[in-house]
Amino acid sequence: MLQVYLVRHGETEWNVARRIQGQSDSMLTQAGEHQAYLVAARVRQLGITHIFTSDLGRTRQTADIIAAACAECPVILEPDLRELNMGVLEERMIDSLSLEEEGWRKQLIDGTEGGRIPNGESMSELAVRMNRVLYRCLDLPQGSRPLLVSHGIALGCLLSTLLGLPAWAERRLRLRNCSLSRIDYQQSPWLAPGWVVETAGDVAHLDAPALDELQR
């Protein structure tokens, strides 16, 4: 059985400011760095052999902290793990959006098939590249235990599709900053063969509440 661990990056300056990040970037806050150290302490005991991370700065910062705790486990940059491209709304403050713009944003979370922000990416396109990285994990050497460091919408989309939902399904998974999830590839007499979600959004290792994308 292959176990794959998933970590969302630590809190960023734009998370706190309620600014849309997408594939733009923002540095971790002091709290975000602290979260990364806490999740690193937890995964240090898991025997991680490979760390694949989105090449955006906030995920790279988080992955480097985790790697230092995991006997300098190699960090592999993987652009397919990037956050959803939010098009013309990237870098905008949530509270500044017009009704039309907020409608574009809501299409990404309310189950609108084919929804996308102008010049952005659909959830279906996001699902293709996220699953592409996951399935490449099956080619790793026997005994590998990879960890993927990515983003809230991206990881939520991946987990939803593994549960059999369409990529554009209503978002129902809360993945807070530096939450830890685990998925297994296995054959079971009681579960569908293939990928199984073991845990999603675990924050037991954190010592203070962590933010969801919009929750305060």
Whether the predicted pLDDT of 216 surpasses 80:
no
Residue 207 lies in a domain: no
Q: Determine the Cα angle at 131 with ends 18 and 52, to 5°.
A: 70
List, for residues 59-108, the tens digit of each pLDDT value: 999 999 999 999 878 999 999 999 999 999 999 999 999 999 999 999 99
Q: In sequence order, what are the beta bridge partners of 148?
A: 6, 52
Distance CA(206)–CA(210), nearest Å, equals 8
Domain that holds residue 182: 2-85+127-202
Residue 132 lies in a domain: yes
Question: What is the residue type of 210?
Answer: A
CATH code at 135?
A: 3.40.50.1240
pLDDT of amino acid 213: 58
Number of structural domains (the chain) is: 1
Residue 115 lies in a domain: no
Whether the predicted pLDDT of 214 surpasses 80:
no
Residue 97 lies in a domain: no
pTM for the predicted model, two decimal places: 0.96
Residue 105 lies in a domain: no
Q: Give the three-state DSSP class for 12.
A: strand
Q: Residues comprising the binding site?
A: 8-15, 21-22, 58, 60, 83-86, 152-153
- Contact call for residues 27 and 36 (beta carbons, < 8 A): no
Rounded alpha-carbon distances, angstroms, from residue 198 to 153, 181, 186, 195: 19, 8, 11, 9
List, for residues 15-73, the tens digit of each pLDDT value: 999 999 999 999 999 999 999 999 999 999 999 999 999 999 999 999 999 999 998 78
Residue 169 lies in a domain: yes
Distance CA(203)–CA(44), nearest Å, equals 15
Q: Which residue has the tokens 């990404």?
A: 108
- Give the residue numbers annotated as catalytic, written as ranges: 9, 83
Residue 216 lies in a domain: no
Q: Residues comprising the binding site for substrate?
A: 8-15, 21-22, 58, 60, 83-86, 152-153
Residue 53 lies in a domain: yes
- Contact call for residues 65 and 37 (beta carbons, < 8 A): yes
pLDDT of amino acid 161: 97
